[in-house]
A = this chain, B = another copy of it.
Amino acid sequence: MRIKAAVLGATGLVGQRFVSLLANHPWFDLVALTASEKRVGRSYGEVVEWVIGEDVPDAVKDLQVLPNDLKVLRREGVEVAFSALPSSVAWGVEESLLKGGITVVSNASPMRLEPDIPLLNPEVNVSHLEVLEKQKRRGWSGRLVKVPNCSTAILTLALKPLIDVYRVRRVAVTTMQAISGAGLRGVPGYMIGCNVIPFIKGEEEKLTAESAKILGFVDKDSIRPSEVRVSASCTRVPVLDGHLESVFVDLDESVNPSEVVKVLKSFRGEIAGWGLPTAPENPVVVRGEEWRPQPRLDVMAGEGMSVVVGRVRVDEGDRLLKFFVLGHNTLRGAAGSGVLIGEAMVKKGLL
Q: Could you list which residues of chain A lie within 8 angstroms of chain B, going by C-beta atoms?
A: 13, 51, 53-54, 170, 172, 174, 176, 179-180, 184-199, 229, 231, 233, 235, 237-240, 244, 246, 248, 290-297, 300, 310-311, 315-316, 320, 322, 324
Instruction: Give every chain B residue within 8 A of A51 (Cβ-Cβ).
Output: 190-191, 297
Set of chain B residues within 8 Å of A244, measured between Cβ atoms: 196, 198, 235
Give bound CA distance, A300 to B197, whole Å: 16
| Interface pairs (24), CB distance under 8 Å | A51-B190, A53-B296, A174-B233, A176-B176, A176-B196, A179-B193, A184-B188, A185-B190, A188-B189, A189-B189, A189-B191, A189-B192, A190-B240, A192-B193, A193-B193, A193-B194, A193-B238, A193-B296, A195-B239, A198-B244, A198-B310, A198-B324, A238-B238, A238-B239
Secondary structure type dominating chain A contacts: mixed
Are B291 and A197 interface neighbours, CB within 8 A? yes
Structural contact, A246 and B231, CB atoms closer than 8 A: no
Known: A196-B295, A198-B294. 5 other contacts (CB 8 A): A53-B296, A170-B316, A187-B188, A189-B191, A193-B194
Q: A198-B292, A294-B195 are in contact. Are A189 and B238 (CB under 8 A)?
A: yes
Using Cβ atoms and an 8 Å threshold, which residues of chain B touch A195?
A: 239, 294-297
B188 engages A311 (CB within 8 Å): no
Contacts of A300 in B (CB 8 A): 53-54
Q: Is the CB of A296 within 8 A of B184?
A: no
When all copies of this chain in the complex are counted, the total is 4
Expressed in whole angstroms, the minimum distance between the Cβ of A315 and any Cβ of chain B is 5
User: Which residues of chain B are within 8 angstroms of A297 by Cβ–Cβ distance?
Assistant: 51, 53, 195
Q: In the bound complex, how far is the Cα of B197 from the Cα of A293, in angstroms?
A: 8
A233 contact from B53, B54, B324, Cβ within 8 A: B324
Which of chain B's residues have a CB closer than 8 A to the CB of A191?
A: 51, 184, 189
B196 x A316 contact (CB < 8 A):
no
A-B CB proximity, top 10 nearest: A174-B174, A174-B246, A187-B189, A195-B296, A189-B192, A194-B194, A189-B189, A198-B324, A233-B246, A179-B189
Cα A320 to Cα B233 in complex, Å, equals: 12
Cα distance A78–B300 when bound, in Å? 35
Cα distance A144–B187 in the bound complex, in angstroms: 36
CA distance A27 to B185 in the complex (A): 40
Complex: chain B residue closest to A52, CB-CB: B297
Nearest Cβ in chain B — how far from A176, in angstroms? 5
Residues of B within 8 A of A197 (CB): 291, 294
Determine whether the beta carbon of B231 is less than 8 Å from that of A194: no
CB of A78, distance to nearest CB on chain B (Å): 29
- A155 to B248: give the CA distance in the assembly, Å: 18
Which residue of chain B lies nearest to A239 when distances are taken between CB atoms in the complex? B194
Assess whether A248 is in contact with B235, with CB atoms less than 8 Å apart.
no
Complex Cα–Cα for A12 and B199 (A): 22
Q: Which residue of A176, A196, A244 has the most chain B CB atoms within 10 A of its CB atom?
A: A196
Residue of B nearest to A233 (CB): B246
Residues of B within 8 A of A239 (CB): 193-196, 238
Q: How far is the CA of A184 from the CA of B190 in the complex (A)?
A: 6
A85 to B197, CA, bound (A): 28
